[in-house]
Structures are given as C-alpha cells and as structure tokens.
C-alpha cells in the first residue's frame, strides 16, 4: 500500500507508523487529552507532554513541532482543529485546511519526507467526516502539486468507514483535478 510518494490511505493506529512525522490532533493549550492525542502521548512517553506544555499554546489552524521521543516517528506535529459547534460553516473548512497546510509547511521546514495525519477534528471536535476528508485530500494534493517535501502523505484512518470516505474523496478530487 505504501508507495513512498503521493497519498496513501491506511487503517491503522497512527502511533505504530514508521514515518518521519506523525500529526497530533491537539487542543489549543497543548495539554495532552484523549483520542489520538492520548494514544500518541502514551506511546511517546511522558517527555512528550513536557515538550508540549513547554510550548504552551497553539491557536486553531496553526501547528507546532516536538520530537517523537519513544515513537518510531522522529517528530510529532501538533495542530489544533476547529471545534465544529463553535465555528460557522465557512470558518470550519478554512481552519481545517489551515491545519493541513501549516502542518505540511512545518514538516517541510524540518526536512520531513513522510508524514501521517489522523482524521483531524472528526472525533470529539465533531467535524463531519464527509467534509473533513475533502479538506484533507484537497490540502494534500495542493501541497504535492507544489513539489515541496514531504512527498509522502499518509492518511491514517481509525475505521474502515473513515478509510472509505478518504478513498472516495481522493478519487473524486483526482477525477476533477
Ligand atoms: P479531534 O479532537 O480533533 O476531533 P480526536 O482524537 O477526538 O480528535 O479524533 C480524531 C480522529 O482520530 C478520529 O477519527 C479518531 O477515531 C482517530 N483516532 C483516535 N485514536 C487514534 C489512533 N491511535 N490512531 C489513529 N487515529 C486515531
């Protein structure tokens, strides 16, 4: 499934992936929480929470970077998705696209060649998967068209149903593209 270039969609626990960087769905205070954030912190060890809290804050749509500590991934990029119920429709998609764009830009600055994203914002933050996967795939294709690193983008889904949404969003974007 992994080609080393372009977009790959997998169903997996993101903490197990052997990529240069994994992305965390963090909260804006960078205090380790539940969901994918909890799983990443558990796998990385307590040093990750310390590194996050030393940074202290990340506005919605922005991204910050820490080491991966005990993870296979060398880096963790923490980005803060919008809470669906707190934003109007336009703002949600703009802010979610910013999460992907800013994470990819930060990854590029740090020489990351392969990066894995969870389905940002679609857990506790309540963003509908159908729109979220379009924002994710659109931002990834824009990035890859620009030719910058990272050249390998993995969408790490936690369910078969999420993976199916991502696959059809990718097919649709490629058909239109
Ligand atoms: P948010 O607060 O941004 O909504 P969540 O962590 O609640 O973030 O959920 C984001 C997505 O991450 C959801 O699709 C959830 O099922 C998924 N997820 C949870 N744990 C993991 C994991 N270990 N690996 C990959 N994805 C995960």
Note the pLDDT tens digit of each residue in 41-71.
999 999 999 999 999 999 999 999 999 999 9
Work out the average pLDDT over 25-48: 98
162 is catalytic: no
Cα separation, 79 vs 34, whole angstroms: 15
Cα separation, 43 vs 123, whole angstroms: 19
- Please tell me the distance between residue 147's alpha carbon and the centre of ligand 1 in angstroms: 28
- Please tell me the distance between residue 96's alpha carbon and the centre of ligand 1 in angstroms: 14
Is the pLDDT reported for residue 1 higher than 50?
no
CA distances from 86 to 25, 50, 60, 120 (A): 17, 28, 11, 16
Is the pLDDT reported for residue 177 higher than 80?
no
Q: For residue 122, give the ligand 1 atom closest to its CA.
A: 4
Question: pLDDT tens, 109-156?
Answer: 999 999 999 999 999 999 999 999 999 999 999 999 999 999 999 999
Q: Which domains does the chain have, with CATH numbers?
A: 6-176 (3.40.220.10)
Number of residues assigned to the chain: 177
* Active-site residue, from 37, 90, 148, 160: 37
């Amino acid at each position: 499934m992994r080609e080393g270039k372009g977009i790959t969609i997998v169903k997996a626990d993101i903490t197990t992936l052997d990529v240069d960087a994994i992305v965390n769905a963090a909260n804006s205070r960078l205090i380790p929480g539940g969901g994918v954030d909890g799983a990443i912190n558990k796998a990385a060890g307590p040093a990750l929470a310390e590194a996050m809290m030393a940074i202290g804050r990340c506005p919605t749509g922005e991204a910050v970077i820490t080491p991966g500590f005990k993870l296979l991934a060398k880096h963790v990029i923490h980005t803060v998705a919008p809470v669906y119920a707190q934003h109007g429709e336009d703002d949600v998609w703009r802010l979610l696209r910013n999460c992907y764009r800013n994470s990819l830009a930060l990854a590029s600055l740090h020489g990351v060649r392969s990066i894995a994203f969870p389905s940002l914002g679609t857990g506790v933050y309540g963003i509908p998967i159908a729109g979220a996967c379009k924002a994710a795939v659109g931002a990834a294709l824009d990035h890859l068209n620009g030719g910058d690193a990272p050249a390998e983008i993995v969408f790490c889904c936690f369910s078969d149903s999420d993976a199916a949404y991502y696959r059809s969003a990718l097919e649709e974007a490629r058909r239109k593209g």
